[in-house]
Amino acid sequence: MTLKILFIGDIMGRAGRKAVSAFLPSLREEHSIDLVIANAENLAHGKGITRATLSEICNAGVDLCTSGNHVWAKPEGVEILQQPDTLLLRPANYPPKTPGVGEKVVAIATKSILVINLMGRDFMPTTVDCPFRALDAILEKYRTTPLAGIIVDIHAETTSEKHAVALYSDGRVSAVVGTHTHVPTADERILPGGTGFQSDTGMIGVRDTLIGVTYESGIKRFLTRMPSHFEIAESGLTVFNSILLAIDSETRKTVSITRIQKEIII
């Protein structure tokens, strides 16, 4: 059996949510998608998550959300993480006793998919535990669990760290997809051990911006090197970046990996 999983990159604010609502229902039908995962740390005006913004994308067809360092930006986000049936993950390599969980088993009919959320350490603003050791611990935890696939979101700044995580886990997980830098990379491929990989899935947000931030508010920091308020662009030509994975449920290997990129005026 081949399972089709769509991973959607970082969803930036209102424009990103609207693009998900515009494209996802038809994509699910067109490609017979079994599971949709999206990085949601930028849902609420570019930083953090609220119940309303999470409900909006889930109603559009997102099944589970990963996140990153901005997941704590809104108090509601922390509350959502602590719900027993939460659809929101935080990076698994935050220290012990941090609210929320970093992995979750999702049922697809009679099959089970393990989704793991990790965060990198190089040049990231938050200090976390080692993502490589965290991955090892999670894989050992589920070693005897019957799984049809394992998907890893590595939320990191550098392509080298994301690539290292992918190579480190090649053959042990179905796919490693990168998030955080908001720029889609053209390096999607299947590694020698059968693990699908892309350095960064990109964003769902207004295209002609500084990765989702208005040029006017973002350029001040480059010109003056002083802290400045970033304003999230909420309308304009909006890009939708995602990766479609086809996974063999018997071998847990990726058999195909395809970028899906669309544009819409919001």
- Enzyme catalytic residues: 70
Contact criterion met (CB below 8 Å) for 12 and 46: yes
The C-alpha angle 159, 162, 164, rounded to 5 degrees, equals 105
Residue 123 falls in which region: left (phi positive, over 0), alpha (psi -120 to 50) or beta: left
* Residues 232, 45: Cα–Cα separation, whole Å: 6
* Residues 163, 71: Cα–Cα separation, whole Å: 23
Contact criterion met (CB below 8 Å) for 233 and 15: yes
**The tokens of 82 are what?**
């602590």
How many Cβ atoms sit within 10 Å of the Cβ of residue 196?
A: 30
Contact criterion met (CB below 8 Å) for 259 and 239: no
